[in-house]
């Protein structure tokens, strides 16, 4: 009889579980894991009840989620809890995301003698802080993880900052079988968007960092036949509505609120725009393009790395007129070239998860 392969146990450590790109990615590691692996996500902050109320999607993953309810400030007890967890579950891999999880999960994994430790940085803005930079440098030396950047831009900066020998770049991915091309007319019926409008769409948390105020103000200077729809919710919703009211753009701009069927939302658009002031490696631009929608993003973080080179548009951030001009030009010259194949080839979540598993278990990416 042949030997039975031991199932591998992988823990992903995140700061919290709330709607967002990194958090969605963590759940995707559960969904698209190899059949021979058991994947769990540990949230340092929050509780099951509070997190699920904020993000109902978590309910379907509840057997794979661990909440530590960490209070503000450093708590050594959290490290002890993680050590116990890793030892009792015979963890094969601990994968940390960002500096807080590296501090707690990385130290615990090292002390629990977890064989493989992986750490992914999803952006580098926090490393401009001297304290954070020194802390991360010390943690990398102690934990000695396989270091991963989610974009080439991030990888270059990590290399310059730390000169780390085991550094790989694995770009984020999305479920390209979920975000697909479809009928624009049928999608607009679902999302309640006029069938005869030329529609620009945006999606994301309604927070200052996402730059929706700039996009709204730019609409004053684009042709009147263009309508803007924004999907999402957040603390700036009323402030954004006030801008729309002041500019008298209610007939051309609609705040849709939270949308559950994001595939239909993207399919309903003529053009997608991500107007952020700051970003890591955004998933919404990948999702829109996977649905065949030409996409414009501001040149912040690693956003430009998400664009299809044949249809993507890059815009200077926080510039109202630059955004208005770019969107007007794009709306006039919409191409039949679909960006979908570029996303399928480069950003399929299945390929991303496979690369991480190869790095963890074989030590390299094919």
d(CA 151, CA 141): 22
Q: Which tokens is 115 given?
A: 């064989």
Residue 3 pLDDT greater than 70, yes or no: no
Cβ atoms of residues 265 and 231 within 8 Å? yes
Q: What percent of the chain has pLDDT over 90?
A: 86
> pLDDT tens across 262-282, in order?
999 999 999 999 999 999 899
Q: What is the pLDDT of residues 226-240, one digit of tens each?
A: 999 999 999 999 999
Per-residue confidence (pLDDT) for residue 1, from 0 to 100:
45
Cα 75 from Cα 287, distance rounded (Å): 37
Please give the mean pLDDT across all residues of the chain. 94
Provide the edge-to-edge strand list for the sheet that holds 271-274.
253-257, 226-231, 198-203, 271-274, 295-298, 313-315
Spatial distance between the Cα atoms of 307 and 125, rounded to a whole number of angstroms: 21
User: Averaged over 32-38, what is the pLDDT?
Assistant: 92
Predicted confidence (pLDDT) at residue 60 exceeds the cutoff of 70: yes
pLDDT band of residue 363 (cuts 50, 70, 90) is confident
Name all contacts of 125-133 with Cβ < 8 Å and 24+ positions apart: 125/278, 125/301, 126/98, 126/99, 127/157, 127/161, 132/99, 133/161
Domains of the chain: residue spans and CATH: 8-173+348-362 (3.40.50.2000), 184-346 (3.40.50.2000)
Is pTM, for the whole model, over 0.85?
A: yes
Lowest mean pLDDT among 211-215, 216-220, 360-364: 360-364
Q: What is the pLDDT of residues 88-112, one digit of tens each?
A: 999 999 999 999 999 999 999 999 9
Which pLDDT score, from 0 to 100, does residue 366 have? 58
**Strands 198-203, 271-274: pairing kind:** parallel
Q: Which of the four pLDDT bands, split at 50, 70 and 90, describes residue 243? A: very high
Check whether 295 has a pLDDT greater than 70. yes
């Amino acid at each position: 009889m042949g030997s039975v392969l031991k199932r591998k146990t992988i823990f992903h450590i995140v700061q919290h579980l709330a709607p967002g790109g990194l958090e969605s990615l963590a759940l995707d590691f559960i969904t698209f894991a190899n059949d021979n692996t058991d994947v769990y996500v540990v949230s340092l902050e929050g509780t099951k009840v509070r997190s699920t109320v904020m993000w109902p999607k978590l309910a379907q993953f509840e057997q794979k989620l661990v909440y530590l309810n960490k209070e503000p400030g450093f708590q050594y007890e959290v490290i002890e809890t993680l050590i116990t967890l890793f030892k009792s579950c015979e963890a094969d891999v601990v994968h940390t995301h960002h500096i807080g999880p590296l501090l707690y999960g990385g130290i615990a994994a090292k002390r629990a003698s977890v064989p493989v430790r992986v750490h992914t940085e999803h952006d580098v803005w926090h490393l401009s802080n001297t304290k954070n930079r020194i802390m991360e440098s010390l943690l990398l030396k102690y934990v000695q993880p396989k270091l991963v950047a989610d974009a080439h831009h991030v990888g270059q900066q990590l290399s310059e900052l730390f000169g780390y020998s085991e550094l790989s770049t694995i770009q984020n991915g999305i479920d390209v079988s979920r975000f697909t091309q479809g009928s624009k007319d049928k999608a607009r019926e679902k999302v309640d968007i006029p069938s005869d409008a030329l529609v620009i769409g945006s999606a994301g948390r309604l927070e200052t960092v996402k730059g929706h105020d700039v996009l709204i103000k730019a609409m004053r200077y684009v042709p009147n036949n263009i309508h803007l729809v924004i999907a999402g919710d957040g603390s700036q919703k009323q402030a954004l509505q006030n801008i729309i009211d002041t500019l008298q753009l209610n007939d051309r701009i609609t705040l849709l609120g939270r949308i559950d069927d994001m595939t239909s939302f993207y399919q309903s658009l003529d053009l997608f725009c991500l107007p952020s002031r700051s970003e890591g490696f955004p998933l919404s631009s990948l999702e829109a393009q996977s649905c065949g929608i030409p996409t414009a993003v501001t040149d912040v973080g690693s956003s430009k790395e998400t664009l299809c080179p044949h249809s993507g548009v890059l815009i200077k951030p926080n510039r109202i007129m630059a955004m208005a001009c770019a969107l007007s030009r794009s709306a006039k010259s919409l191409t039949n070239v679909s960006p979908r194949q570029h996303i399928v080839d480069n950003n399929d979540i299945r390929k991303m998860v496979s690369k991480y598993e190869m790095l963890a278990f074989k030590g390299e990416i094919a």
